[in-house]
């Protein structure tokens, strides 16, 4: 039985499993707080003297031991925890904790990561994080399935280094090399070429970049969507904004109050449509406000993204903004180009409160154009042969996006670092626990 | 609009997107079959002579080109495809296919894998496979969430080689080595130690084993469950059999008729509970039937698994069987042992029609016992330090299992090879496309 169910069992005998939170062993009474993921309950035992085996068991308890307690639920208005306590009849230690815990309330962030399991277990907001993640993901998936998406699992092992020139992880593979996929990009497009009209995938992506920021990881969970027969990139943005709104509404409904309590953040369901702003306009806006690092730049840096988001929020009240029409020079070769302005791509980033959470685009689906765009970027077609082949036999127009799950959670819960938004963080300096 | 929706639009103008399936260009009439994932429709155009641009467009079509067709839906009882056809007004080639396709109906299996996207696109049963996978997985997840599971995404990059002595993939990681997780085993147990009572994970697992059978892959999708506070391994088997039954019922309901049509297989929803058989009994049974390869063996080989499943089905009518109580010698050190028979583990494999689809167990959650069992297997604790640490500070009893998604699909659809049960197969000899 869960602690939160105890009020319904006043006067009855129950069994509760959980962890020893605090021990107060007084002269006449022994008080033990026991916590499960739903709440905390106080055990109250009156010492019975030398023959009292339960007294001895309680005396030997250590904080964070896993215990199973059988006892009677009694009302006691003096107890803060729901006005009830448990008078124990038996306490069984199922997993004994060593008496000295390696972390406490004063432990720094890196050492807390070393003992992540204890840190998560002892902090209700960390527990809540994973409940929110589960709900958010369920909301994304429910939307995707209602829209006719097929859930795919594409390989993470690739025969040649994927898409961009960015660093990839290389591994030994039966006497040759394999590479870890930096995204399901190529394979989800292959699924489109395979006649799977709408692709949804959730899976790990790997980035061998030595980035040491609060928003980068070498392995993270990507949510990927790819849609066939799109008329243009607007279809992709429409899909994403509706998908996010659906999932955030579910989070607000199920966890809004807890999120407010534990993170001090209000979950607001965004209005549709999200604001859209071409990169050129975004830069003009920022320059008009005095942001002009190193003269004219094609891209936005993190500071530019934050400022832009603040400006958009000021003007529209919206926390999200799609930045569109990135110059071709700073986008991958497979992004489709504007027919009117061939120097611009039909692509976008989605910023939420100034953090980039998505990159998306209409894809170039014509084989000859794709070859030309790859050549312009100085890419050799040979390592990408299998990818390029998918466009030779009737590939429909399509577009899609990738969403970083942990980045969404960072913004949603107001976390300062992506390290706090995942269960076990992986970075250039961290491969453990 | 999808082809299957056309009967509702008789007499009206519609737009359909799909692939050119067949061209029959006759003297007076041009017929084109266009296929989308929902069905096939015939376009019928009466040639109009030299000024007929549509005639010229149709004449230039190639099989498998991606097209967008606008036209009027007309009834024609002579047409087999639903008694209707489309009189086209415009046909636009969105993705042109080269005139010679690299595979046809006579292409062998390896070359079909080379051109998997075309193979999947052209075979309705391959399309159906991914729809079934999506539904099956949705059924598993719906059950897991209803049972209070939290969906986790644990790292695939590990700082030291994981669990068993089996081969793992090693990669370069910023000047040192990392390893790909052979399963989320250690991390899902860490989630249990982190107070996440019920863990559900779907993700890739990596096996560097040079296995060339029809049922092995170097990368596959694992469905993992781990449950805290279990009273024993029976709780784990109960959970799995109910989960599978729930998901198979959903598949039968949504796809039963199509699966019968395309795969010639009847989806039957299994009865609860599934039969259970201790390994010692299983061996006795098999020996009584004359199966005794190389004298007494501790484990079942694939032939033994098939024979056992056949015997169980003969006796109980059940396609599934849990084989339990594997000897400790052939199970990993973290499987809990029987208190009565310490040489036996509280573990199981689940066979479906003779194919192993799951390994599960109650876990040993007591730190000192775990250390002893690791030592018995000759394992050094140091590389597993972070894993073992999770048992030092109050780890509750728990158990769980891992399910191979592609193996389930193999059995469910009667496929001969795991290569047909995944989108892009990965084996020792295959890293492409």
On whether residue A175 sits in a domain, the answer given is yes
A280: which residues sit within 8 A by CB, 6+ positions away? A325
Q: What is the pLDDT of residues B321-339, one digit of tens each?
A: 999 999 999 999 999 999 9
Does B207 carry a binding-site annotation? yes
CB B50 within 8 A of CB B110: no
On whether residue B425 sits in a domain, the answer given is no
- Based on the fold, state whether residues A286 and A402 are members of the same structural domain: yes
Residues of A in contact with B157 (CB under 8 A): 206, 218-219, 426, 431
DSSP letters, B305-363, are HHHHHHHHHHHH--SEEEEE--BGGGS-TTBPBPSS-TTBBSEEEEEETTEEEEEEEEB
**Residue A138 CB coordination number (10 Å):** 18
Residue B81, min C-alpha distance to chain A (Å): 20
Residue A195, min C-alpha distance to chain B (Å): 5
Nearest-CB residue to A101 (from B36, B118, B393): B393
pLDDT in the model for residue A166: 64
Residues of A in contact with B172 (CB under 8 A): 169-171
- Based on the fold, state whether residues B325 and B408 are members of the same structural domain: yes
- Based on the fold, state whether residues B342 and B208 are members of the same structural domain: yes
How sure is the predictor about B165, in pLDDT bands with cuts at 50, 70 and 90?
low
Does B112 carry a binding-site annotation? no
* Contact call for A190 and B117, based on CB within 8 A: yes
On whether residue A51 sits in a domain, the answer given is yes
Q: What is the pLDDT of residues B399-432, one digit of tens each?
A: 999 999 999 999 999 999 999 999 999 999 999 9
CB neighbour class for A416 (10 Å; exposed up to 12, middle 13-18, buried from 19): exposed
CB B276 within 8 A of CB B237: yes
* Contact call for A153 and B433, based on CB within 8 A: no
| DSSP H helix total and E strand total for chain A | 11, 16
Looking at B61, B95, B129, which one is the last position of a domain?
A: B95
Does A331 carry a binding-site annotation? no
Looking at A31, A64, A95, which one is the last position of a domain?
A: A95
Strands (E), A230-340: 276-278, 320-324
The arithmetic mean of pLDDT across residues B215-222, rounded, is: 97
Does B303 carry a binding-site annotation? no
- Based on the fold, state whether residues B84 and B135 are members of the same structural domain: no
- Based on the fold, state whether residues A25 and A56 are members of the same structural domain: yes
The arithmetic mean of pLDDT across residues B257-277, rounded, is: 97
Provide the residue range defining the domain that includes B70. 3-95
For the CA atoms of A203, A209, A213, A216, what is the dihedral angle to 10 degrees?
-10
CB A341 within 8 A of CB A300: no
Nearest-CB residue to B120 (from A194, A405, A432): A194
User: Would you call A232 helix, strand, or coil by DSSP?
Assistant: coil
On whether residue A425 sits in a domain, the answer given is no
pLDDT in the model for residue B162: 63
* Contact call for A433 and B141, based on CB within 8 A: no
- Based on the fold, state whether residues B90 and B128 are members of the same structural domain: no
Does A317 carry a binding-site annotation? no
On whether residue A379 sits in a domain, the answer given is yes
* Contact call for A117 and B390, based on CB within 8 A: yes
Per-residue pLDDT of chain A (433 residues; tens, 9 = 90+): 999 999 999 999 999 999 999 999 999 999 999 999 899 999 999 998 889 999 999 999 999 999 999 999 999 888 887 889 999 999 999 999 999 999 998 999 999 999 999 999 999 999 999 999 999 999 999 999 999 999 999 999 999 886 555 689 999 999 999 999 999 999 999 999 999 999 999 999 999 999 999 999 999 999 999 999 999 999 999 999 999 999 999 999 999 999 999 999 999 999 999 999 999 999 999 988 888 777 557 788 888 999 999 999 999 999 999 999 999 999 999 999 999 999 999 999 999 999 999 999 999 999 999 999 999 999 999 989 999 999 999 999 999 999 999 999 999 999 999 999 999 999 999 999 9
Count of the separate structural domains present in chain B: 2
On whether residue A32 sits in a domain, the answer given is yes
Strands (E), A319-431: 320-324, 347-352, 355-362, 398-404
Looking at B33, B61, B95, which one is the last position of a domain?
A: B95
Using CA atoms, how far residue A145 sits from B56, B127, B134, B351, in Å, is 40, 16, 9, 30
* Contact call for B155 and A390, based on CB within 8 A: no
Residues of B in contact with A395 (CB under 8 A): 66, 95
Residues of B in contact with A122 (CB under 8 A): 195
Residues of A in contact with B366 (CB under 8 A): 95
Lowest-pLDDT choice from B115-119, B143-147, B157-161, B343-347: B157-161
* Contact call for A19 and B394, based on CB within 8 A: yes
Residues of A in contact with B155 (CB under 8 A): 204, 219, 424, 426
- Based on the fold, state whether residues B47 and B178 are members of the same structural domain: no
* Contact call for A134 and B156, based on CB within 8 A: no
The CA distance from A316 to A272, in Å, is: 12
The CA distance from A115 to A120, in Å, is: 9
- Based on the fold, state whether residues A396 and A255 are members of the same structural domain: yes
Strands (E), A294-426: 320-324, 347-352, 355-362, 398-404
B363 is written with which tokens? Answer: 């876990």
Q: What is the pLDDT of residues B82-107, one digit of tens each?
A: 889 999 999 999 999 999 999 998 99
What is the layout of strands, in order, in the sheet containing A347-352? Answer: A150-151, A198-206, A219-228, A398-404, A355-362, A347-352, A320-324, A276-278
Nearest-CB residue to A130 (from B141, B152, B155): B152
Burial A100-137 (b: 16+ CB within 10 A, else e): ebebeeebeeeebbbbbbbbbbbbebbbbbbbbbbbbb
Give the residue from chain A lying closest to B180, CA to CA: A171
Residue A180, min C-alpha distance to chain B (Å): 9
B211 is written with which tokens? Answer: 């296995």
Give the residue from chain B lying closest to A228, CA to CA: B17
pLDDT in the model for residue A289: 87
The CA distance from B335 to B379, in Å, is: 14
Handedness of CA A378, A384, A389, A390 (dihedral sign): negative
Angle at which helices B233-263 and B405-413 pack, to 10 degrees?
50
On whether residue B106 sits in a domain, the answer given is no
Continuous H helices in B115-182: 116-122, 124-146
The CA distance from B112 to B104, in Å, is: 9
- Based on the fold, state whether residues B91 and B124 are members of the same structural domain: no
- Based on the fold, state whether residues A384 and A250 are members of the same structural domain: yes
DSSP-derived secondary structure letter, B98 = P
CATH for A216: 3.30.930.10
Task: Flag whether pLDDT at B164 surpasses 90.
Answer: no
Q: Please provide the size of chain B in residues.
A: 433
How sure is the predictor about B255, in pLDDT bands with cuts at 50, 70 and 90?
very high
* Contact call for B433 and A131, based on CB within 8 A: no
Give the residue from chain B lying closest to A430, CA to CA: B159
Does A372 carry a binding-site annotation? no
- Based on the fold, state whether residues A331 and A404 are members of the same structural domain: yes
The half-sphere exposure of A30 on its side-chain side, counting CA atoms within 13 A, is 23
* Contact call for A116 and B20, based on CB within 8 A: no
CATH for B75: 2.40.50.140
On whether residue A263 sits in a domain, the answer given is yes
Does A209 carry a binding-site annotation? yes
- Based on the fold, state whether residues A315 and A400 are members of the same structural domain: yes
A contact test, residue of B135, B179, B399, B424 with most A CBs within 10 A: B424
């Amino acid at each position: 039985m869960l602690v939160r169910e105890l009020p319904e069992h006043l006067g009855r005998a129950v069994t509760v499993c959980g962890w020893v939170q605090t021990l107060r062993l007084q002269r006449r009474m022994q008080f033990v707080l026991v916590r499960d993921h739903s709440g905390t309950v106080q055990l109250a035992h009156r010492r019975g003297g030398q023959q009292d085996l339960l007294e001895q068991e309680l005396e030997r308890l250590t904080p964070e031991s896993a215990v199973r307690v059988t006892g009677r639920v009694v009302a006691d208005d003096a107890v803060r925890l729901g006005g009830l306590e448990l008078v124990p009849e038996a306490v069984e230690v199922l997993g004994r904790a060593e008496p000295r815990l390696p972390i406490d309330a004063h432990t720094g962030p890196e050492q807390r990561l070393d003992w992540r399991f204890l840190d998560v277990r002892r902090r209700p907001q960390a527990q809540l994080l994973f409940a929110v993640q589960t709900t958010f993901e369920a909301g994304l998936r429910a939307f995707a399935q209602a829209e006719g998406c097929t859930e795919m699992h594409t390989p993470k092992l690739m025969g040649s280094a994927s898409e961009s020139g960015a660093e990839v992880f290389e591994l030994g593979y039966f006497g040759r090399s394999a590479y870890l996929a930096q995204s399901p990009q190529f394979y989800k497009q292959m699924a489109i070429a395979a006649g799977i009209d709408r692709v949804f995938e959730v899976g790990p992506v790997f980035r061998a970049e030595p980035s040491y920021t609060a928003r980068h990881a070498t392995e993270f969970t990507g949510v990927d969507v790819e849609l066939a027969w799109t008329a243009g990139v607007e279809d992709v943005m429409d899909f994403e904004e509706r998908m996010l709104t659906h999932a955030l509404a579910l989070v607000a409904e199920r966890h809004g109050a807890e999120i407010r309590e534990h993170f001090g953040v209000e979950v607001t369901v965004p209005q549709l449509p999200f604001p859209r702003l071409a990169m050129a306009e975004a830069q003009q806006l920022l320059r008009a406000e005095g942001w002009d690092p190193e003269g004219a730049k094609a891209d936005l840096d993190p500071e530019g993204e934050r400022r832009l988001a603040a400006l958009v929020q000021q003007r529209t009240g919206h926390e999200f903004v799609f930045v569109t029409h990135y110059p071709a020079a700073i986008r991958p070769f497979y992004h489709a180009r504007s027919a009117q302005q061939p120097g611009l791509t039909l692509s976008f980033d989605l910023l939420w409160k100034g953090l980039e959470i998505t990159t998306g685009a209409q894809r170039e689906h014509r084989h000859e154009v794709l070859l030309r765009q790859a050549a312009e970027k100085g890419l050799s077609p040979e390592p990408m042969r299998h990818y390029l082949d998918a466009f030779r036999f009737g590939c429909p127009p399509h577009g899609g996006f990738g969403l970083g799950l942990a980045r969404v959670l960072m913004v949603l819960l107001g976390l300062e670092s992506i390290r706090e938004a995942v269960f076990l963080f992986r970075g250039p300096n961290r491969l453990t626990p």
